Structure 1
Amino acid sequence: MSARPDPLFRLRALALALPRTVEKQAWGAPTFRVDDRIFAMADTPEASTAPARSGPAGLSVWLAAPEGAQEMLIEAAPDGTSEWSPDWDEVAFNLARAHKLIAARRARSRR
């Protein structure tokens, strides 16, 4: 039986594969930035400032998202499901969407 990859390692690999992305520690947690603006932040048990984070090995992820995305996620899991078994294709999609959203905002602000 093979060991499952560390979820933070997988998240980091997906995020850093996006153009112009850098990782920077902030508030004791890894953040992923494009053009020095955060598009994703991981919250690990070691860095967490909030109680009872859940997910694989206690990992939770904050992502920039378009208007209405949070409401859709809440409606999809109205019971506040605490266990998260990620679909890594979906994680990659959402990371790319967050990256694109923040990069576009940055480009608009430079005009």
Structure 2
Amino acid sequence: MTTLEKFQELAKINFVEYNGDIEIGTMLTADGYECYYITADIQNLNFENEVFYYQPDFDTIMNAIEDLRYAGEEIDVEIDEWDYFDEYYMLDFIQDNMDEDEFDEFTNDK
């Protein structure tokens, strides 16, 4: 099992190409600046809480996913760049959500 697959399993996240429950991406402003967003509804983007001048870090993204998740269910996440989910942070998340022996076995199997 890859790091990405294990991360998706433990985080209860399915990465999809379109029609996600939450969308993480970038957009350009009228004057050419790139902004980042994390939203459940791109058509009704809340600029105060869902738009970022700088790429949101892993913890910010995971907190936004948890805020939009309904009762701990799996959630579909649509992303336009994999940069948001660096393998280092995914492994850290996996380690925090597995017992030590399971994590050692997982990392030794890779």
Same fold (TM over 0.5): no
Q: Where is the helix percentage greater, Structure 1 or Structure 2?
A: 2
- Larger CA Rg, structure 1 vs 2: 2
